[in-house]
Amino acid sequence: MHATDADAGENGHVTYRWADETANQYGSLFDIDAETGDVALKSTLDYELQHTYKVRLHLVAMATAIVKSYDVLCIPYRTVHI
């Protein structure tokens, strides 16, 4: 995930975090880097249980007043047999 803010300097800095419902439901499976927005797998996924994960994250821009936005990211999962 990558977001930008047109403001200059520190006011243009954007951080990322899971929305509460996503953190509660999938926090043991996925991690998000607050600075880069990179999503990482924390645990093994089971394709038989779930094929796609729909997660919600907050994008926080550091302006004069903190501005929160959100986006929904769908993470498709496919098995690969080697």
Closest CA to 26 of 49, 37, 42: 42
Q: What is the pLDDT of residue 4?
A: 62
Q: What is the pLDDT of residue 37?
A: 85
- 24 found inside a domain: yes
Cβ–Cβ contacts within 10 Å for residue 16, how many?
A: 20
Alpha helices by DSSP H, 8-79: 20-26
Q: What is the pLDDT of residue 24?
A: 94
Q: What is the pLDDT of residues 12-21, one digit of tens each?
A: 677 888 888 8
Report the CATH number that the domain containing residue 32 is assigned in CATH. Answer: 2.60.40.60
Q: Which domain holds residue 54?
A: 9-76
Q: What is the pLDDT of residues 24-67, one digit of tens each?
A: 998 999 899 988 888 888 988 887 888 788 888 887 776 655 55
- 82 found inside a domain: no
- 81 found inside a domain: no
